[in-house]
Chains A and B, each alone.
Chain A
Amino acid sequence: MALVETVASVVLNGLQQGAIFALLGIGMTIIFGTMDFLNLAHGALYLIGAYAGMVVLRSTELRGGLLSGSGITVVGLEYGFLMALVLVPLVGFVVGVVMERFVADPFYDRPHTDQLLVTFGIALIIQEVVKGIMGDTTYQSVTVRRILGVDVSGPVSLPVVGSFPQWRLYIILIALVVIGLTYVIIERTDFGLVVRAGTQDAEMVRLLGIKITRSYLVVFGLGAALAALAGLIGASIQTISPQIGIERALIPAFLVIVVGGAGSVVGAIVGGMVLGFTIAAMTIHASQWAQIVMYAVAAVVLLSKPQGLFGSVEVEE
């Protein structure tokens, strides 16, 4: 493979992987930055998104689990992808709001370690509930064929790279648009101003008479919706099983905010891209070292720049 082709392929794969990472990272970082709450159940929201996406998009024959045990063997709505694009983040938002009220709120004033522990437990519970309902099996990824009558599956011929799955380009597009929208909401609107002010000094915002608790709800829901969206996108290209929440979402999200800098949206985008490109580049030549190098990059950033590439606040114990 010529160098140009290699680079182009790395860029496309890196963008795709990085965009998913960034979606996860942004969700986690705005929750962390605003409420100073570390949510280890973030991966579980990705998991919910992936399964919700699967149910909305296609009919799946269930293998095992409570549903198939009680006679329901096929679930699925077979709505189109656009419907899923609305419904799945909505599900994520609702779960996020519930989580904020009943899990996060009692733990805002307790140490980070307690937050980590309780959300880790919640992550386990959600994973096991999903496993119990949908069965402990691995389902195939959902292939999206048409959006508004346009064929989106199948390969497309690109100038330099050659044949490339068309759907992956759409993923990059969708993710980048959503990331852009989130950026605008956080950086350019009044609501975003409150959120960012809350990141700096929540006490002060409250003293100014702004109801920060209401923003907390929205921010938590928004972060959860982004994670669910990442799950939907992930479900369209990768297999779906109860473990993906912890394996494919939680750790990357964590690394992204640590590399990018906790509490910074730009940092999460850059962090996601850095890790995505690292994986994409390593996959081409030494795929078995890809994960190792990704972790090494995170470790090097952490050691040399503890506040992250774009971080404004350093996390204290």
Chain B
Amino acid sequence: MSEDADRASEDTQQVDGGAVIDGDHDGPAIEQARSLLGHDLGLLVITSLILLVFPFLLVDGLGILGEILGRRIGGYEGLAALVLTYGIVVIGFNILLEYTGLLSFGHAAFFGAAAYAAGIISAGTEVDFIVWGVSLFVLDLPAVTSPLLMVVFGTLVATLLAWPIGFLSIRRSGIYFAVLTLTFGQMLYFWALSPGAALTNGDNGFSDVHVGELFGTIRLGADVPVLELVGINDWEYLFVAFFAVLAIGTAHRIVNSPYGLIFKALGENERRVSFVGLNVFRYKLMAFVISAAFAGVGGSLFVMQEQYIHPTTGLYWITSGDFVIMTVLGGTGSLVGPMFGALVFEYINNVVSGISLPVIGPIRSLWRLVLGAVFVFVVWFFPRGIHGGLVDLGRALRSFAAFVVWAVRDPAAFRELLLDTVVAYRAAAADRIEAALSRIGIGGDRR
């Protein structure tokens, strides 16, 4: 589209994104920064509180509701952590899709690569590099089992992988970008399946995952002292929730920074961004790499929970498709929207699949049918996703309530409005009838 402009702007002077806002408000900049920081802190506190009660709502809240309905619709303990894990991935995915308008069908590559990297580094096995039957060298990896380091390493690998893939894919836009990311992801999948089996254990999946103690003292599976009361049973959930809060905070910070504003501008009009002298390519690449880093965090956390990763769950393009589904289900219009998508997706996957319905019987493997139906429904009728739909509904209800209040307070004006509406409607209807008549040649003037 605007590749020529891209190339041209590469040569021109790099303008820092920060200049865009700073020019407008120089005086109260510190004040503004302080209020932003306060806003950030508020967000983090609220998110933390919600995540603290989330397992309780999911497991016990829905469980009680389920007992009333006579169906098992409550979640289980591990589900909350799984939802947050995928939530982290799709928050990052959303930064790319919503703000720069790039639809990637290859994010499983980063999710899976991070999962494998975190798993492999925790195993600490000898890795024999064999190319076409010839052993090149043997790498003796030390076992790194610290959960934090595993996440850091997995994220690092995902980020480093995203750089070349992004560098090539960003050159194309729209559907071609989707296909390019898809091809790179699939190449990695097929590599992990068989040529790379020495490293990934191929089709058998990698299960040699050893998660050690957090800070050398806390075992992730151990009980949490007090929080048991709110349904949090192990440290693993807290560990994942910590990263979820971190992810939301980071994403919020990115999106509301001058840098993030340029992402937003890219989604709205790429050409104009390049006209003001910004390097479009560089910003798109950064958005891509950032979203891949989120996927990397999610992948690392995933392998620690499941203790197992297979090319199909980690790298296959269906997993990329799942990320797309979660993001779009939840709604791309907001930061936390995709989290709702991850919740609905995993809920259907793990809980709805266990429900038995009167006529159809147990849903079990048909969960994807339910998911597909929900997905088509949302895309069709709520282009802004579940979160957007809820926001719209809330707004509609609010304005309706305001209208009712206004009508009650001022009945005369309400009656007048009603009359006006009826008169206008009748005039419009008469116009339309006349137009229809003149089209079939009866009466009226021909225009």
Contacts and interface: CB of A to CB of B under 8 A. Distances in A.
B180 A122 contact: no
A114 interface: yes
Interface stretch (A13-21, A77-85, A193-201, A291-299): A291-299
Interface string B159-190: 00000000010011111101110111011001
Given A127-B368, A302-B179, A315-B175, A121 B317 contact: no
Contact of B195 (A120, A131, A292, A298): A292
A112 B376 CA distance: 15
A299 B184 contact: yes
Given A121-B372, A124-B371, A129-B369, A291 B190 contact: yes
B179 A125 contact: no
B369 A289 contact: no
Interface residues of B, number: 42
Contacts of A190: none
Nearest to B190: A291
Contacts of A296: 183, 187
Given A246-B318, A289-B195, A295-B183, A258 B176 contact: yes
Given A295-B186, A302-B183, A124 B372 contact: yes
A117 B381 CA distance: 13
Interface in B368-419: 368-369, 371-373, 375-376, 379-380, 383
B366 interface: yes
A301 to B, nearest CB: 10
B179 A258 contact: yes
A90 interface: no
A100 B318 CA distance: 25
Interface of B is mostly: helix
Given A114-B383, A251-B317, A298 B179 contact: yes
B419 to A, nearest CB: 37
Interface in B11-54: none
A157 interface: no
Contact of B175 (A38, A136, A251): A38
B191 interface: yes
Contacts of B182: 251, 254
A302 B195 contact: no
Contacts of A121: 325, 372-373, 375-376, 379
A113 B318 CA distance: 17
A125 B369 contact: yes
A208 B173 CA distance: 33
Contacts of A316: 1, 173-174
B212 interface: no
B72 to A, nearest CB: 21
A1 interface: no
Contacts of A132: 366, 369
A291 B186 contact: yes
B293 interface: no
Given A258-B176, A299-B180, A306-B176, A128 B191 contact: no
B186 A122 contact: no
Given A118-B376, A122-B372, A128-B369, A315 B187 contact: no
A288 B195 CA distance: 6
A226 interface: no
A317 B103 CA distance: 10
A256 to B, nearest CB: 11
A255 interface: yes
Contacts of A110: 383
A209 B379 CA distance: 33
B178 A116 contact: yes
B195 A118 contact: no
A131 B366 CA distance: 8
A4 interface: no
B337 to A, nearest CB: 15
Interface of B: 1, 101, 103, 168, 171-176, 178-180, 182-184, 186-187, 190-191, 193-195, 317-318, 321, 324-325, 328, 361, 365-366, 368-369, 371-373, 375-376, 379-380, 383
Given A258-B176, A316-B174, 8 more contacts: A112-B175, A121-B373, A122-B372, A124-B371, A251-B186, A254-B179, A298-B183, A317-B1
22 contacts: A69-B361, A112-B174, A116-B175, A117-B324, A117-B379, A118-B380, A121-B325, A121-B376, A124-B368, A124-B369, A128-B368, A129-B369, A291-B186, A292-B191, A292-B195, A299-B168, A299-B183, A302-B172, A306-B176, A314-B176, A315-B175, A316-B1
